[in-house]
Amino acid sequence: MALILTGTSGSTTLDSSAGLTFSDSSSQSAAASPNVLKNRIINGDMRIDQRNAGASITPTDAQYSVDRWVAYRSQASKYSVQQNAASVTPPDGYTNYLGVTSLSAYSITSTDYFAIAQYIEGYNISDLGFGSASAKTITISFWVRSSLTGTFGGAIRNSAANRIYPFSYAISAANTWEQKSVTIAGDTTGTWLTTNGIGIAVWFGLGVGSTYSDTAGAWTTKASTTSATGATSVVGTNGATWYITGVQLEIGTSATPFERRLYNQELANCQRYFTSFVGAVAFSQYGIAEAVGATKIRWPMQCPVVMRSSPTLTVNGSGLVWALDRIGTALSSISLDYATTQIQSISATTANGITIGQAGSVNAGNFTNTSVTFSSEL
C-alpha cells in the first residue's frame, strides 16, 4: 500500500516496502530507516576535541583525549595520543581520527595495560536486553591503520568488569586503512546497567599483559579483562603507530554504513559528559557575580545541555578575576556551591574588601588561556 503526498513542488510517494520516492524520482529505501540513530558510540569519527583542540598528550592513567575516548596506561610516558596524529589522510568520507604513537620499545609485564576506551551510558544501551534471555546480537565496526601488522585485541564489558567479551581483529597491511567488524552475541547473564551509569565499556588494547587478557570470541568472567590473549603490543615498538576512526556499535549481525550526525548534534552529545568554556581572548566573560560576603562572591553558570550527573568543576590556565568598576581582583578558592545537571553555582574568594550585594563581572583578565570546565564522565 502506498501513500501519495502532493504539494506545489510535486508529489512524494511513501510505500511500506519500497520506501520514499520523491518528485525528482530520487528515493530512500525502507531499508535505510534502521540507519537512523543506530550508533551507540559518541564521537566515533573523532571530530570533537574540546579538551586538547588537536594537541598531542602523553596521557596520565584515565586521561581523556578526543571527547568520550579515555586513555589508560599502567606505566608513564609509553605512548602519546592526538587527534589526526602525523596528519595522514583519513579513510574516504572522514576528516579525523584518533592517533596513538609509541614513545619507546616497552616490554609489557603480566600486570601492564595500555588501552583506549569509551564508556556508553546505560540509557543508550537499554534496548539491547543484555543480562536477559532476549539479549540482542551487536556488531562493532571501525577503520584502523597501524605501522604494525598482526592480530590486535579489544573487549566489551559491563560496569562491574566481570562480564567481558574479548575480541580480536587482524591488520594485514602496514600503514593502510582497513575496515574491521566484530559480531558479538548478546550476553544473557550478568548485570548490565540501563540508567546513567556505565552500560557497556568498549576497549581497544595497545599492549595488555596476561592479567587483563583472555581468549577472544567468548564471554568470560575474568575480572577487568581489556584485550585478547596474544594481541600485538603497540607500545612494544618504538615509534609504532595505531590510528582509529569510524567506530560504530549497533544492533545486528553485520556492519552497516557509519551513522553520520550533524556537528552540532555530536557536540551536544559530548557536552552531556564534558563542557568547556574557553577564554579565547583576554577579558573573556564567564558571568556576573554577586558579593555575598566581605571577600566572597558567587555566580551562576549554565551548561549548554543537561549533563549526565551533577558535574565537577575545573579552572585551567592563569585563573579568573572579578572586575568591579574596571578593577580586576584575582580570585582564589574557586569551587562549586551546588550543582545540578545543567545549572551550577560557583563561589570564590577575592582579596579586596567588598560590600555584600555588589555586582561585578567574572572574566579571564588579561589572559587568553583560561577555561572553566564541567565534567560528568562515566
Q: What is the pLDDT of residues 298-321, one digit of tens each?
A: 999 999 999 999 999 999 887 899
Task: For residue 135, give the C-alpha cell.
Answer: 539479549
3-state secondary structure of 289: strand
Specify the pTM.
0.90
Read off the DSSP letter of residue 271: H
The 10s digit of each residue's pLDDT in 1-22 is 455 656 555 665 555 444 455 4
- In angstroms, the CA 375 to CA 273 distance is 6
Q: In this structure, which amino acid lies at residue 167?
A: F
Q: Report yes or no: 249 and 118 within 8 Å, Cβ to Cβ.
A: no
CATH code at 273-375: 2.60.40
Q: Which of 195, 188, 371, 363 is nearest to 277 (CA)?
A: 371
Please state the domain extents for the chain. 2-34, 63-270, 273-375
Interval 274-285: pLDDT, tens: 999 998 788 888
Task: For 107-139, write each residue's pLDDT tens digit.
Answer: 999 999 999 999 999 999 999 999 999 999 999
User: 63-270 falls under which CATH superfamily?
Assistant: Galactose-binding domain-like (2.60.120.260)
CB 46 within 8 A of CB 64: no
Q: How many CB atoms are closer than 10 A to CB 45?
A: 26
